[in-house]
Structure 1
Amino acid sequence: MTNLVSVITPVHGPSARYLAEAHVSLTEQEMPPGWDWEWIIQEDGETADVRPHVPSDPRISFEQGRQGRAGMARTMALARARGDLVKVLDADDVLTPSALHRDIKVLTEQSGIAWTTSRVLDLLPDGSTVGFEGDPPPGPIAQGAVLERWRTHDYRAQVHPATLCARRDLVTALGGWMALPSSEDTGLLMALNAVSTGWFIEECGLLYRKWPGQSTAQSSHHDDAERRARMKVIEDRAEALSKLSTWHL
């Protein structure tokens, strides 16, 4: 029997051209014995712009749906996930070699760990990469630690939600991704940390593409009133979850 990690990718027309590079990064993954990946691509909308860019691969499931931003697309994709683990991969990003292997190794060998994140490099338009300072030490991330630092550092997390890999049953129990115009992945990260222990992998796991069409580059993403509202509902949900339960593996 093959174990699966379900890689979930929301996509819209402008980002569809990068799917081929994301696919290459998946096909080049060295998987642990007995493991494989499935790639669940969900278009945010029902256009003719995305399907031509979806690679031909029996491990890929592609569907479309009503437009509702990336959070809804991710959660709709979750309905098709068959793996015990769920991995985030945005359409315009690229996994580094062995990223999935490292995620799986932690989540199958480290007792009590519900999710992982890893180091990230920005991938610039000229092909160069830029790193960041301030990564946490490798190893366990205590329940509530990400939430507390995020809350006290202008709502900026010390780990990147675009690298999340988590247990599917926990992601499902938390309702998937938040119904927000953006920051829905941050919302899931904070919810995961509110109820469970994570793990930071010091090796770079993702190249995060910087380009003019990405959603975080749009002026609406930085609207102050909207940002305050997003952060408040993310914080309130995480705090409520932290009072209700601790996830037991």
Structure 2
Amino acid sequence: MGSAVDAAASRRIVVLTAVHAPSAPYLPEAYASLCEQELSDGWEWHWVIQEDGTTDEVSPYVPDDPRVTFRQGRRGGPGVARTIALAHAEGAYVKVLDADDRLTPGALARDLAALEGDPAIGWATSRVLDFLPDGSTVGFAGDPPDGPIERGDVLGFWKENDFRAPVHPATLCVRRDLLLALGGWMALPASEDTGLLLALNAVSRGWFSKEVGLLYRKWGGQATGQAAHVDPAERDARMAVVEARARALASFRWRRP
């Protein structure tokens, strides 16, 4: 029985979503975008939704689908919610999907193609469009070329561009063993996903797809739109520890085999 479970998990991509009450009404749209995904024969997705808290306000929006697991836990922020959700992420790959965002058709298949096609690639990202309240979308200038991202390239760009990464951490798809080896997401009040992205880039080559893989919703309740997110003192501290971790990992010369 155990070997059968292991074999099934090796052909599974686990989608992790941290959610709190204000973003819960967007879960049905995220689910619809998952249902639009088409994977190669033998592959499946499993959605693990982890509430950052223990309210009664999220569960009404969780789809009734055997491919969906819903968990709750004490509040600690999205990084803590995602990391503890790894206990239920039995799959070879882990894909991030924020509760208020939407995947585009083909996003999971492109991630899998990059990671399955080259064992040296540890993580994959894709182009993002901001999804505005009026339903329109806005792209970003300066995306990297389609293809591999070499170790250290993300940190270099990030430092030279006011702590803006060249690829979006909300699009990450990563090998589960590598994610666990790095301890999951950083224990920060924000930028925990950027911290993971830079750590991944310090130890492994990545991949960028020029095809749009995510619609990143812009709305008043998102954490990155709050005043605390741009408080200068906290922001400087977050960026300092994110950089220090990435540089320490690089200095050890450890890399994913």
2:197 to 178, 189, 195: 189
How does 1:223-242 map onto structure 2 within 5 Å?
Answer: 223-242=231-250
Cα deviation, residue 34, structure 1: 1.2
Aligned residue for 1:121, secondary structure, equals strand
Residue of structure 1 in register with 2:101 after alignment:
93
Q: TM-score, normalised by structure 1?
A: 0.98
Give the 3-state SS of the residue equivalent to 2:141 in structure 1.
Answer: coil
Q: CA RMSD in A?
A: 0.8
Matched-pair contact (CA < 8 Å) for 1:107–1:113 = yes
**How far apart, CA to CA, are the structure 2 residues paired with 1:15 and 1:248?**
35
Paired residues of 1:196 and 1:246 also in contact (CA < 8 A):
no
Q: How does 1:36-55 map to 2 (within 5 A)?
A: 36-55=44-63
Question: Does residue 170 of structure 1 match 2:178?
Answer: yes
Q: Distance in 2 between matches of 1:170 and 1:221?
A: 28
| Distance in structure 1 (CA, Å) of the matches to 2:183 and 2:148 | 24
Give the whole-Å Cα distance in 2 for the aligned partners of 1:119 and 1:23. Answer: 20
**Where does residue 21 of structure 2 map in the other structure?**
13
* Distance in 1 separating the partners of 2:52 and 2:39: 29
Q: Following TM superposition, by how much is the alpha carbon of 1:33 offset from its aligned partner in structure 2, in angstroms? A: 1.6
Which consecutive unaligned segments of at least 5 residues does structure 1 have?
none
Contact 1:46 1:64 in 2 (8 A): yes
Q: Post-superposition shift, 1:153?
A: 1.2
Given that residues 122 and 204 in structure 2 are in contact (C-alpha distance below 8 angstroms), is that contact kept between their aligned partners in structure 1?
Answer: yes
1:174, CA displacement in angstroms? 0.2
TM-score normalised to structure 2 length: 0.95
Alpha-carbon distance between aligned partners in 1 of 2:146 and 2:21, rounded to the nearest angstrom: 37
Instruction: Give 1:140-159 correspondences, 5 Å limit.
Output: 140-159=148-167
Deviation at 1:110, TM superposition (A): 2.0
**What residue in structure 2 maps to residue 248 of structure 1?**
256
> Which 5+ residue runs of structure 2 have no aligned equivalent?
1-6
Q: How big is the shift at 1:248? A: 3.0
Q: Distance in 2 between matches of 1:230 and 1:7?
A: 26
- Deviation string, structure 1 residues 173-218 (Cα, Å, up to 9, x no partner): 0000001111100010000001110010010000000000000010
CA positional deviation for 1:79: 1.1
1:76-91 aligned within 5 A: 76-91=84-99
Q: Which amino acid counterpart does residue 72 of structure 1 have in structure 2?
A: V
- Deviation of 1:247 (Å): 2.3
Q: CA deviation at 1:147?
A: 0.8
